[in-house]
Structure 1
Amino acid sequence: MEKDCVHVFAPATVANIVCGFDVLGFALDEPGDEVTLRRTDKTGVHLVNITGDGGRLPREAEKNTVSASVMTFLKHIGRTGIGVEIELHKQMPVGSGLGSSAASTVAGLFAINTLLGSPLSRRDLLPFAIQGEALACGHGHADNVAPALLGGITLVRSYEPLDVIALPAPQSLYAAVVFPHVDVPTRDARQMIRTKVSLKEAVVQWGNIAGLVSGLFTADYDLIGRSMHDVLIEPTRAILIPEFYEMRKLAMDAGALGFGISGSGPSVFAFVQSRETAARITSAIQSHLMQQGIESNGYVSGINLEGPREVNS
């Protein structure tokens, strides 16, 4: 059934999960972004309001990931003759490494699909979300948009053709997430990555990815922790994040299974086995950062299995 107005929340995500660069990610309960779509008599897609971005996001409909993705969706299903107004409410930091652009894009796509009676499945929306990431970051990858759209933990097995696998989330797996208020642009962080690696390093990396996936399937928390090591990307990106190794020591000393960078940073996260431990680690890291003169946001979350959802306006 088609609707006149839809209000949608889409979650933040942690991409890579340390060793799974560009292929692994999971959805958080919070933070996230919200999008409101309304039908209008004026044909076309109109981006009428953005809040919470500090003026950083483009206001032109063709350049903003939300409205541009909605345009592509409408063209695909042959509904370019309708009119919609879009409001984007950013409730998570831009440039945080928590999939900010992915959350916005997914919220917009889920909203327009819901508004028009859900002609496509969530998985059918993935290619449009990836195109939105390309517009935002210059690189169309699915490690953020897949968990934001499908919920849970996802593995991008292949991009050509696109093949995304839902992985199980052990019941007692929680995340402690901290976003330090420092600037690490995604494009800059990606440009620092080596384009060639040694076979020895590659073997270590794919062994850890396989171990992490196996640990998720068997709910082997010790194996999950042992596998959360990155020899390819983290050593370079950690340079851009102040106090990274100090934060990791605090987390591991407090009982974390593993610790690493969320996406391209500067956010960091730890996997733990209880919400209480996650809260304790988040508080300890934020206190340490404050002592160094660095403000931060902290989040404690389970694995969000739902993904985007319609909410009351």
Structure 2
Amino acid sequence: MRDTVKVFAPATVANVVCGFDVLGFAVNAPGDEVVMRVTDKPGVIISKITGDDGRLPLNPDKNTVSASVQDYLKHIGRTDIGIDIELHKKMPIGSGLGSSSASTVAGLFAINTLFDNQLSNQELVPFAMKGEELACGYGHADNVAPALLGGFVLVRSYEPLDVISLPFPQDMCAAIVYPEVDVPTKDARQMIRSKVLLKDAVKQWGNVAGLVTGLFTNDYDLIGRSMVDVLVEPTRSILIPDFYKMRSIAMEMGAVSFGISGSGPSVFALTKDQDTAHLITQALQKQLKSIQINSLSFVSSVNKKGPVILD
């Protein structure tokens, strides 16, 4: 058993337009880092958090990283051990890119590494879901599952939990832009209708099935025409400045598809190559600047590995 480890866990794009709470994929950047050490005094503490502007709690019962680690230690029967955690936020909080997920997954991967990988990454998903419940009130898996497993992930069922890794075109890239406006996940979730029309549900089912089929067959045209959301995007797009203008720009520049990442405000476009992705992010940032909104951008291929050890 080693006594210290440093881990990176990736950001994720949840929902992937039409797959609310059931689809997501991981990207290579941004992400979060956790440094974890075994100590002599029993209990889990967070000794340091950087990059959060003081927004995240140091209380180990209220921070998603430490709370998930506590659950893991209870599960393996090692509450006698001491764990010191440093969390280094390398991505914006509340961006719609799975910020809490990246932190939680980094922590769980780190503690599992210290204990010689007693659980598989797939078995860590329920522990990470508890962290999501602490962060936003609902233990969804469409961020934590791809962050842990890498690639594209389908959450076929929550009860019982059934998480499936999907194939995808190997040259696929994501162009991500984060407008610096505040869209809290809890608020964005509360805006969603609790009841939907059957005809809308039928459209959504067809689009999810079409997207999954397109991923399996490397059919970019099918992927693009399937990524249409008639249930959630019409409401959440109201919170994102110039959303439809940005979508028009991205699609005219050769994007396969365009949509909201998670609950927003980040938006993303899928592309067939990195050059197109870079051009799209530049154009979207220019559009946001024209309405006095600052933004960050990230271009990444789909992350295939999930969390990794950095030392």
Short-chain TM bin: over 0.9
Any idea what the Cα deviations from partners look like across 1:267-303, whole Å, max 9, x if unmatched? 0000110100000001100111111111111000000
Instruction: State how 1:1-313 maps to structure 2 within 5 Å.
Output: 2-312=1-311
**3-state SS in 2 of match to 1:30:** strand
Gaps of 5+ in 2: none
Q: How far apart, CA to CA, are the structure 1 residues paired with 2:3 and 2:76?
A: 18
Q: How far apart, CA to CA, are the structure 2 residues paired with 1:282 and 1:54?
A: 26
Any idea what the Cα deviations from partners look like across 1:18-39, whole Å, max 9, x if unmatched? 0000000000000000000001
Any idea what the Cα deviations from partners look like across 1:204-227, whole Å, max 9, x if unmatched? 101000000000000000000000
Q: How far apart, CA to CA, are the structure 1 residues paired with 2:139 and 2:42?
A: 29
Any idea what the Cα deviations from partners look like across 1:153-209, whole Å, max 9, x if unmatched? 000000000000100021121100000000000000000000111111011101000
TM-score by length of 2: 0.99
Q: How far apart, CA to CA, are the structure 1 residues paired with 2:19 and 2:294?
A: 28
Q: How far apart, CA to CA, are the structure 2 residues paired with 1:240 and 1:291?
A: 18
Any idea what the Cα deviations from partners look like across 1:216-250, whole Å, max 9, x if unmatched? 00000000000010000000000011110111011
What displacement does 1:116 show? 1.1
Gaps of 5+ in 1: none
**3-state SS in 2 of match to 1:34:** strand
**RMSD of Structure 2 on Structure 1 (CA):** 0.5
Q: How far apart, CA to CA, are the structure 2 residues paired with 1:120 and 1:23?
A: 23
What letter is aligned with 1:3? Answer: R
**3-state SS in 2 of match to 1:107:** helix
What letter is aligned with 2:206? Answer: G
Q: How far apart, CA to CA, are the structure 2 residues paired with 1:67 and 1:245?
A: 39
Q: How far apart, CA to CA, are the structure 2 residues paired with 1:131 and 1:43?
A: 22
What displacement does 1:59 show? 1.1
Q: How far apart, CA to CA, are the structure 1 residues paired with 2:102 and 2:180?
A: 20
**3-state SS in 1 of match to 2:96:** coil
**3-state SS in 2 of match to 1:297:** strand
What letter is aligned with 1:57? Answer: L
TM-score by length of 1: 0.99
Q: How far apart, CA to CA, are the structure 1 residues paired with 2:14 and 2:293?
A: 23
Q: How far apart, CA to CA, are the structure 2 residues paired with 1:250 and 1:132?
A: 36
What letter is aligned with 1:255? Answer: G
Q: How far apart, CA to CA, are the structure 1 residues paired with 2:168 and 2:2?
A: 33
**3-state SS in 2 of match to 1:269:** strand
Q: How far apart, CA to CA, are the structure 1 residues paired with 2:309 and 2:168?
A: 23
What letter is aligned with 2:25? Answer: F
